[in-house]
Amino acid sequence: MQTIAMFFLASVAVGGVAWVFLYPILSGERKAEQRMANVAKAEPAARVTRGHQKSRRDIIETTLKEFDERHKKSKRVPLSVRIAQAGLFWSKRQFFLLSAGIGVVMFLLGLFTGGGIPVGAALGFAGALGLPRWLLSYLKKRRENKFLDAFPDAVDIIVRGVKAGLPLLDCLKMITIDAPEPVKSEFRAIVETQAIGMLLGDACGKLYEQMPVPEANFFGIVIAIQQRSGGNLAEALGNLSRVLRDRKKMKAKIQAMSMEAKASASIIGSLPLAVMTLVWITSPQYISLLWTEPLGRMMLAASVLWMSMGVMVMKKMINFDF
């Protein structure tokens, strides 16, 4: 019965991963979306004003459409870009070797702890495919939070420098010296990209590719529009800084208002484990039937499965996206 239960858990894990990654390909859903996008894509009509020059409004609309199309094309992020977004300097080969090593260690751990081949295979599959990608997502999210904490101050440095009469490029160089990581490294990449011949607006637009947060997208759009159509850069960046700080305050307010729900979810999620531990301390013979009897092991496996689903649902309910 233990083998059947472990085989069932491994099958559920493999089936879930196959459903996420293989279903859009086999069902043709991805191709259908691409065909719909190609059909719906319309080339913007060129509007010519007096003197055969585009107006500021036309330039802004064209710039926004270019940014939107660029971001639609980059929805599927390559693995090398995801590694760079996490702040790591690994190659794809190093990442795959690390994933394989974790998978082998997890397989041997499940094999030699008495779980058998099914348990070892399930742990190895999770260690090779799940754990490294979860680590990338965690490091990426942590790096984005550090960037958002220091980014409004960097924009304020640019505003003060522009008001003092400094060129925009010199303001960016000041950020590469004084700002904390990862803002320093990202703006250094902008300066280096501009030094090899790329336009400054396009170089700032690439910030979103390495730091995929809306704030970086706003910054790239403002710089690109100012470079193409002119205008008061200090005022535009000042408004951007105020928007960034307001978003930061709103995020903190949402976190404060949702802490009660998060605390309740944490208590509900940890309650079964706490009760199980207390019962095992007080009456070990009473609860040991869960892992000594075949029916108990099956009930324990089903409980873990349903509890994991409940935790996932609660996590989805208390995570607010804005």
Helix (H, G, I), strand (E, B) or coil at 258: coil
Q: Are residues 267 and 150 in the same domain?
A: no
Average pLDDT over residues 252-269: 83
102 or 225, higher pLDDT: 102
User: Residue 114: pLDDT band by 50, 70, 90 thresholds?
Assistant: low
Q: Are residues 274 and 244 in the same domain?
A: no
pLDDT reading at 257 higher than 60: yes
The per-residue DSSP string of 91-155 comes to -HHHHHHHHHHHHHHHHHHHIIIIIHHHHHHHHHHIIIIIHHHHHHHHHHHHHHHHHHHHHHHHH
Name which of 109, 108, 102 is nearest 126 in CA terms.
102
Distance from C-alpha of 254 to C-alpha of 320, rounded to nearest angstrom:
8
- In the DSSP assignment, the letter for residue 167 is -
32 or 237, higher pLDDT: 237
Distance from C-alpha of 99 to C-alpha of 130, rounded to nearest angstrom:
9
Distance from C-alpha of 151 to C-alpha of 248, rounded to nearest angstrom:
11
Q: Which residues contact 26 (CB under 8 A, 6 or more apart)?
A: none
pLDDT score for 6: 61
Retrieve residue 235's tokens.
Answer: 């005022």
Q: What is the mean pLDDT of the chain?
A: 77
pLDDT reading at 136 higher than 60: yes
Fill in the amino acid letter for 207.
L
pLDDT score for 41: 47
- In the DSSP assignment, the letter for residue 43 is P
User: Residue 45: pLDDT band by 50, 70, 90 thresholds?
Assistant: very low
pLDDT tens column, 187-205: 888 888 888 877 887 888 8
C-alpha to C-alpha distances, 192 to 155, 162, 176, nearest whole angstrom: 19, 20, 11
pLDDT score for 165: 84
pLDDT reading at 18 higher than 70: no
Q: Are residues 172 and 277 in the same domain?
A: no
Rounded to two decimals, what is the model's pTM?
0.64
Domain boundary among 251, 279, 301: 251
Q: Are residues 307 and 289 in the same domain?
A: yes
User: Residue 146 falls within a domain, yes or no?
Assistant: yes
Distance from C-alpha of 186 to C-alpha of 189, rounded to nearest angstrom:
5
| CA dihedral over 281, 282, 285, 287, signed as positive or negative | negative
What percentage of the chain's residues is helix, strand, coil (to nearest 5)? Answer: 85, 0, 15
User: Residue 24 falls within a domain, yes or no?
Assistant: no
Average pLDDT over residues 287-303: 83
pLDDT reading at 186 higher than 70: yes
Q: Are residues 171 and 289 in the same domain?
A: no
Average pLDDT over residues 2-14: 59
Q: How many domains does the chain have?
A: 2
Q: Are residues 218 and 309 in the same domain?
A: no
Q: Are residues 204 and 305 in the same domain?
A: no
User: Residue 32: pLDDT band by 50, 70, 90 thresholds?
Assistant: low
pLDDT reading at 275 higher than 70: yes
- Cis omega before residue 78 (within 30°)? no
User: Residue 31 falls within a domain, yes or no?
Assistant: no
Distance from C-alpha of 59 to C-alpha of 228, rounded to nearest angstrom:
7
User: Residue 143 falls within a domain, yes or no?
Assistant: yes
- Tell me which of 47-51, 103-107, 152-156, 308-312 is least confident: 47-51
pLDDT score for 25: 58
Domain that holds residue 224: 79-251
pLDDT reading at 235 higher than 80: yes
pLDDT tens column, 73-83: 556 777 888 88
